[in-house]
Chain A
């Protein structure tokens, strides 16, 4: 599992960068609509992208 993750680190980082740049615009729409569950969900997605960054060297 660790080896597989290491092999895919480059791709995962690219995806996490895209998520970190796109998810905030979903957050904007969710916050404007006052949908708290969606805000939590998208903040969670941002958190996952940051976590991927944190864990992969």
Chain B
């Protein structure tokens, strides 16, 4: 397929439509994704030789990819609501508040570690929505209360939400976790420290960074190290959650060190002990460890797999997608299934302890569906149009153009593409779906390591969370700043740009050194 500016612009048009509608007109992901889908269908039929058969197979592959991601998202939401309905999230927050009265430690615990923990178990705006009012209650200004968790939790987005964004990256690129996880965990590890620094700096400047340096180093090493260990040993679904849980344990230790030792803050007592509040997450660790690390259990659960075989698909313009299987789903061994088992067990434990009010199950299901449908619509429509673009050679053409324009400097821009995707869609997962294949193909055309470039893509996508209007709006609404998102966005955008720039430099350095 010949690369011309007109063709490149046409190939870019579905993405441009989504960008304009989401940024310019504040449309949600579902609506904008549908508009992108129609654009992709029309452009692919008119200019890229799509046939009805090609569109049909692209939609089937899109549905399979979507189901892989939605399985995790829905189960993660279910677990979150099973826990939240007991009041456990509030109890965890109150329990943490009693760790230390040192402002820097409180800021790190809530804005960096606890917000990441919430990202690990829920995501979708929950970290900012829960932590912002807690920080405001501790006396931080509303702008700081929203900006700190927005910046602080971003590093944990890819491996948070039970790894939904990482699952999406694997699904669209067809690359294995063994290939993608090490570099992704490494770059997100670097982002861990940078997000911590940003969260402290936005409140107290360099003076507070000096005071917090020891805590930042210890907690950052624990979280980045745990995330790397989990991601590279097949337990990537627990990457963000496990890392932040280890970070909470490290906070306990750090709060007792001389520079931070002070009388614990006096606050209201929770109706539930911290141990019971966290019990659902201990169950989750046990279930996922069994399902991933115990070979007999893994084999037993992996027996039923939903998969389809696809023939060679050829567009009228000559673009060929080779014969091969679609993305398979292990019905009982999928990360989403493990989460569902943990949700059910946790519900039974909490119910046996009497933590639920009558009718709680109905409330849990209602809340899960209410939060799951809009997210799912956005993901399905975007995955489906991304598949149409892929099957007509539009994504390849985009990659070819980008590779020619940026040349050897391309690695520096890779995280910026991820950041843009997350900014426009409010989601690291959607960013990976829309841009993952383009980044992969650009890397291949430029002779660069796809592992490094895709790590930069997903890291940029994760960092996009701190500037995504959709998430900032949620946070502002919880601290009485509804309609005044501007000051918060101005505070977070600076850190988003600086941290993404540093990740871009690290990516460029890694490719120049021939790593990956």
Residues of A within 8 A of B (CB): 10, 13-14, 16-17, 20-21, 23-25, 27-28, 30-31, 36, 39-40, 42-43, 46-47, 50-51, 53-54, 56-57
Contact = CB atoms under 8 A, between A and B. Distances in A.
16 contacts: A10-B373, A14-B369, A16-B377, A17-B380, A20-B381, A20-B384, A21-B66, A27-B59, A28-B308, A31-B53, A31-B56, A36-B52, A43-B52, A50-B381, A51-B34, A56-B31
Contact of B56 (A14, A21, A43, A56): A43
Given A13-B373, A14-B369, 9 more contacts: A10-B373, A23-B59, A25-B60, A25-B63, A27-B57, A47-B41, A50-B34, A50-B381, A53-B381
Interface string B359-371: 0000000000100
Contacts of B31: 53-54, 56-57
A39 B308 contact: no
B217 to A, nearest CB: 45
Given A51-B34, A53-B34, A42 B66 contact: no
Contacts of A53: 30-31, 33-34, 377, 381
Contacts of A17: 373, 376-377, 380
B35 interface: yes
Contacts of B38: 47, 50, 54
B37 interface: yes
A54 B46 CA distance: 21
B123 interface: no
Contacts of B373: 10, 13-14, 17
B355 to A, nearest CB: 29
A24 B63 contact: yes
B336 to A, nearest CB: 14
Nearest to A38: B56
Nearest to B370: A10
B328 to A, nearest CB: 14
A20 to B, nearest CB: 5
Nearest to B70: A21
A50 B55 CA distance: 14
A14 B365 CA distance: 14
Contacts of A31: 53, 56-57, 60
Given A17-B376, A17-B377, A17-B380, A27 B34 contact: no
Nearest to A20: B380
Contacts of B291: none
Mostly helix, strand, loop or mixed at chain B's interface? helix
A53 B41 CA distance: 16
B56 A54 contact: no
B188 to A, nearest CB: 30
Q: Which of B33, B308, B369, B381 has the most CB of A within 10 A?
A: B381
A30 to B, nearest CB: 7
Contacts of A28: 56-57, 60, 308
B67 interface: yes
3 smallest CB-CB distances across A and B, nearest first, come from A24-B63, A53-B34, A54-B34
Contacts of B384: 20, 46
B102 to A, nearest CB: 46
A46 B38 CA distance: 11
Given A36-B52, A51-B34, A54-B38, A46 B59 contact: yes
Nearest to B61: A24
B30 A39 contact: no
Contacts of B377: 13, 16-17, 20, 53
Contact of B53 (A13, A23, A39, A47): A39
Contacts of B376: 17
B152 to A, nearest CB: 32
A13 B56 CA distance: 22
A42 B59 CA distance: 11
A9 B377 CA distance: 13
Contacts of A24: 56, 59-60, 62-63
B14 to A, nearest CB: 12
B67 A21 contact: yes
Nearest to B29: A53
Nearest to B326: A28
A48 to B, nearest CB: 11
Contacts of A47: 38, 41
A46 B52 CA distance: 13
Contacts of B63: 20-21, 24-25
B381 A42 contact: no
A17 B77 CA distance: 17
Q: Which of A30, A50, A56, A57 has the most CB of B within 10 A?
A: A50
Q: Which of A24, A27, A28, A56 has the most CB of B within 10 A?
A: A24
